């Protein structure tokens, strides 16, 4: 028993959920445990004013449960604003499964996770995120209808990553237009960090556009694979953040713009797919602004995936998916201009629009 080893006065200082820095008035946090399959998951439901909380499931070998909780709180909050700014009638939610996706993910574990999702009666709808594939969502679909991102052969919209990458590409072009006066990325020196599902698809767009692309990843196999396919350069140095570059595209995990990296950054634009790129939004957003680095808010430009899975719920087709995703270009430019005119960070400018939409709906509901 934890109370045997920690006194109640010590325990009262911990405030495990509501007291977390990342807690932002989340509506519900659900801890899921199943001894037989080894499932340990947390579902975070941040806000359901605009609709059911939709967001992917991430499977990751966290160092400890605090990290997992922190991640799900941050990610689910991000989903609320992502859907709000994209004009979708969805709330924000996310799930994390604690474990190694390569060695611990089994069909039984995925189906058990699906049962937990089902128990929320549609308040949370899942999809894929890091460590998940379309086939995993197909397994979840066997036990609950509250899942998106299932195979096209099973009536779903398929893997959302290519559309996410296309949206990031649109957002990047808008940021380039704002910063360099031209949306063309030809000969731009672009670093893509993380060449997984989204990163690789982004590399393809950039190479087609004539950009000079450098890639990094923790997987040598992936690096070699992407280099051989697209002829891009593998980064051989040991401090990516200090490298001169036009555009930094974080496409791995979040919080890479932090106290350790932010003053080293030589990039002129940051535009990537990773969620929660700013370790502390207010502080790091402000420093980027002061340093003249244009930051295309992550939750705005990586919305292609949610646009894609939302199609499954709303029954719209590929054309509408592309139209909505291409609109990320306009919204990004609008936000960058708004931030400049109002003297706020780009992240704040984007959040203001998202929050206003939620507040308006809340007022209408009353
Ligand atoms: P993925 O798991 O397919 O790819 C992630 C890649 O990052 C892997 O190749 C991994 O080896 C690499 N990586 C991990 N840590 C790294 C590090 N420290 N340095 C360099 N590389 C590292 O995931 P994905 O689906 O491509 O998603 C990438 C990011 O985009 C995630 O943050 C995800 O939350 C976000 N995102 C994805 C989607 C989507 O549609 N898949 C939508 C919105 C946001």
Q: Whose CA is nearest to atom 41 of ligand 1?
A: 161
Q: Which is the closest atom of ligand 1 to the Cα of 274? A: 32
Give the confidence band of 361 by pLDDT, cuts at 50, 70, 90: very high
Ligand 1 residue neighbourhood (C-beta within 6 Å): 129-130, 160-161, 164, 193-199, 216-219, 222, 251-253, 273-275, 302, 305
> To the nearest 10°, the Cα dihedral for 257, 304, 325, 270?
10
Of 82, 94, 268, 324, which one is the catalytic site residue? 94
Closest protein CA for atom 2 of ligand 1: 130
Q: What is the pLDDT of residues 298-346, one digit of tens each?
A: 999 999 999 999 998 998 889 999 999 999 999 999 999 999 999 999 9
Q: Closest Cα to residue 44, out of 4, 111, 95?
A: 95
> Which residue's CA lies nearest to atom 18 of ligand 1?
218
Query: What percent of the chain shows pLDDT beyond 90?
Result: 87
C-alpha to C-alpha distance for 248 and 242, rounded to whole angstroms: 11
pLDDT for 64 equals: 93
Of 293, 267, 261, 304, nearest in space to 280 by CA:
261
pLDDT at residue 4 greater than cutoff 60: no
Question: Is CATH 3.40.50.10860 what the domain over 13-77+90-159 is classified as, yes or no?
Answer: yes
Active site residue 94: yes
Among the atoms of ligand 1, which is closest to the Cα of residue 253? 32
Model pLDDT, residue 8: 64
Band (pLDDT 50/70/90 cuts) for residue 3 is very low
Query: Which of 181, 332, 343, 195 has its CA nearest to residue 270?
Result: 332
- pLDDT-based confidence at 2, cuts 50/70/90? very low
Give the side-chain half-sphere CA count within 13 A for 166.
Answer: 17
How far is the C-alpha of 200 from the C-alpha of 192, rounded, in Å? 9
- Pocket perturbation via mutation, ligand 1, pick of 159, 251, 255, 300 by most ligand atoms within 8 A of CB: 251
Q: How far apart are CA 125 and CA 348, in angstroms?
A: 27
Dist. CA 215–CA 353, nearest whole Å: 33
What residue ranges of the chain are covered by domains with CATH 3.40.50.10860?
Answer: 13-77+90-159
**How many other C-beta atoms can be found within 10 angstroms of the C-beta atom of residue 206?**
25
Q: What atom of ligand 1 comes closest to residue 272's alpha carbon? A: 30
Characterize 244-264 residue by residue with b for buried, 16 or more Cβ atoms within 10 angstroms of its Cβ, and e for exposed.
Answer: ebbbbbbbbbbbbbeeebbee
pLDDT band at residue 20 under the 50/70/90 scheme: confident
> Domain spanning 162-356: which CATH class is it, in words?
alpha beta
- The alpha carbon of 107 and the centre of ligand 1 are apart by a number of angstroms equal to 22
CATH 3.40.50.720 residue window(s) in the chain: 162-356
Q: Which residues pair with 91 in a beta bridge?
A: 53
Quote the pTM value.
0.91
Ligand 1 atom 9 nearest Cα: 196
């Amino acid at each position: 028993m934890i109370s045997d080893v920690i006194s109640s006065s010590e325990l009262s200082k911990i405030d495990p959920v509501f007291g977390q820095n990342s807690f932002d008035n989340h509506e519900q946090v659900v801890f899921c445990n199943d001894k037989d399959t080894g499932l340990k998951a947390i579902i975070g439901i941040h806000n359901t004013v605009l609709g059911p909380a939709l967001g992917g499931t991430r499977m990751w070998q966290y160092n400890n449960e605090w990290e997992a909780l922190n991640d799900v709180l941050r990610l689910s909050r991000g989903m609320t604003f992502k859907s709000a700014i994209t004009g979708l009638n969805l709330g924000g939610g996310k799930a994390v499964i604690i474990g190694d996706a390569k060695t611990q993910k089994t069909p039984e574990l995925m189906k058990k996770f699906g049962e937990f999702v089902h128990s929320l009666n549609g308040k949370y709808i899942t999809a894929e995120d890091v460590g998940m594939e379309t086939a995993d969502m197909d397994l979840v679909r066997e036990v609950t209808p509250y899942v998106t991102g299932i195979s096209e052969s099973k009536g779903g919209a398929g893997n959302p990553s290519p559309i996410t990458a296309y949206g990031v590409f649109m957002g990047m072009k808008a940021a380039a237009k704002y910063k360099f006066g031209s949306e063309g990325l030809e000969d731009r020196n672009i670093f893509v960090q993380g060449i997984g599902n989204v990163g690789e698809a982004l590399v393809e767009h950039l190479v087609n556009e004539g950009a000079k692309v450098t890639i990094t990843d923790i997987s040598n196999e992936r690096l070699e694979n992407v280099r051989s396919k697209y002829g891009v350069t593998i980064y051989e140095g040991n401090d990516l953040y200090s490298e001169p570059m036009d555009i930094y595209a974080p496409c791995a995990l979040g919080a890479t713009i932090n106290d350790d990296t932010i003053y080293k950054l030589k990039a002129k634009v940051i535009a990537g797919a990773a969620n929660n790129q700013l370790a502390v939004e207010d502080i790091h957003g402000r420093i980027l602004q002061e340093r003249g680095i244009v930051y295309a808010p992550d939750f705005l430009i990586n919305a292609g995936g949610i646009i894609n899975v939302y199609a499954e719920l709303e029954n719209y087709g590929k054309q509408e998916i592309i139209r909505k995703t291409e609109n990320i270009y306009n919204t990004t430019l609008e936000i960058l201009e708004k931030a400049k005119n109002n003297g706020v960070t780009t992240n704040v400018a984007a959040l203001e629009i998202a929050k206003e939409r939620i507040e308006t709906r809340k007022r209408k509901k009353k």
